[in-house]
Structure 1
C-alpha cells in the first residue's frame, strides 16, 4: 500500500492513480493525513477494498505523507562508512537526537538555506503505526506503518556551535526535514532492510549506498527507543545517513542557492527541491 498527501488531503495510491480517502470511505476516514495513524490497522484492512474516483494532480500539490508527527527521532553515525568519513568510531549504542516537527515539509518546492554551511543527508524514515513501548526486536516491524524518504538537512555551523555541541537546532530550520513523496507499507518491499539510498546535487551523485550498511537496524532502533520512550502512531524515525555528506569532503562542500537537491530511495521514489537564499533584511517580503 502506498499513501500520499495531495492538496492537503489523504490519498491512497492504486494501480490507476490516487483516490481521495475521505470520499472513497464515505467519511469513515477523514481527509487529514495525520489522523489515519490513530486507526492504522482498520485503515489497512479497508484499503484493500477501496474504490473511488482517481484524482488528477501536479507534483507541486503533493505534500508530506506525515505532516504533523508527534515526535521526530533521528539517529547519528548509523552507517559504518559515514562514521569512518567523520573520523569517529562506529557507535556502540544509537546516537539519538531530534528534529522538531515544524521542520517537516513536502517532497518538492523550495528550501531556504539558513547559511553557507548547509549539508545534505539522505535518510530512510520509519513511520510508526502502533504505539510502541518496550517492544522487542522480533516484533518491531509490527509497529511500523511504513517507510518514506527523508533529508536530514543540517546547518553544520549551528549544529556544531557550543561545547559540547547540540544537534537539534541546526537540523530544524524551516524545511530542513522534507519527507515523501509517499509512505509505503513494509509488505511492498522485497527486503526492507536493504534499500538503495542516494543524494544528487545538480546532477552530481553525492551519496549512493544501501540501508544494509546500517549499524543499528530498524528493529534494533525501535527496540532501543521504545525501551526509553513511548513511540506514538505517526512518529518518525530518521534512521541515519550514509557516507558522502558535504562535511566529509576535502575541502567540505555545501549547498548553494539555485542548486537542485534530489533524494531517492528504492521502492519509495524521488524528492526534488530547489535551494534558495534567505531573504535580506531589506526585502519587504521577509517574514
Structure 2
C-alpha cells in the first residue's frame, strides 16, 4: 500500500535505543488513500517513529463497500522496505512489476519485499465482499539487505498458537513455539491475537524487544490500558510478559522487534539513508525507468 500524501515530508526514523516499559497510547490521524479508502495512520506518529523495524502502520475499516469500489490504490513504487498486507474482512488483489497477481484474504500473509525497487497496485476485486477491514504495515530493511532483489510471498495459512481464550496467528517472526514462513531481515515479531470475551492471560515476550499493540476490534485491555479499535499502545522494552484482558470478543495485533539502531530517511514510499537515495528513486520513478 502507498503513502498517497500529496506533499509528504521527509521523516527521520530509527537510531534510538529502546525505552524501558512504558504505556504510551497513540491515536491515528485520518488519511485518504486511493479513491475511496480512509485509513488511520498510527506510525509514524508524534513522538514515536518506529517499533523495532516496523516503521509504518495503517488501520482501515470495517468499511461497508457493498455499493462502493472499495480499495483502489493505483500503481506506485517502493524501495528499502517490506509491506505486510493483513486482513480481517474482505479481499485485496495485489499486482506488481514482478508479474505477481494474488488475491489476499483474511488472515493470509501477503508480504512484498521491495529491496532496491518494485512497483505494485492494490484493489478490491470485483465482485467483492461487503466489508473491508485490515491493516497495512511496513518493515524497514537494514542496510545489509536494502538493495536485495524484490520479491513477493503469499502464505495462505500462517502458523497458529492457541491457549484458553486465545488464537494467535503468527504473521512474522516467532511467537511461543510457532514461526511464520514469511521472510524477515531483522529480529522482529508480528502476531494477530484473537481473544474471546473474558479471556485473561499473560503473553510471553522477549525482554530485548520493544512492543506495541494495535487494536483491531472489540474491547481489549493491554497491561490494564483499554485500547480502542484504531489506536495503538506503545509498550517499550524490558517486558517478559504482557497481561491481556478481553472485555468482549476482540482482536489486537502485537508488533515488536529489536530497537532499530540505524538512522533511516522515509519519504513517500521510499526508505533510504540520504536525501540522494530518495532523489534518485524519485527521478527513476518519474522517468519510468526499468528500475521500477
Report the TM-score, using the length of structure 1 for normalisation: 0.25
Tell me the TM-score normalized by structure 2: 0.24
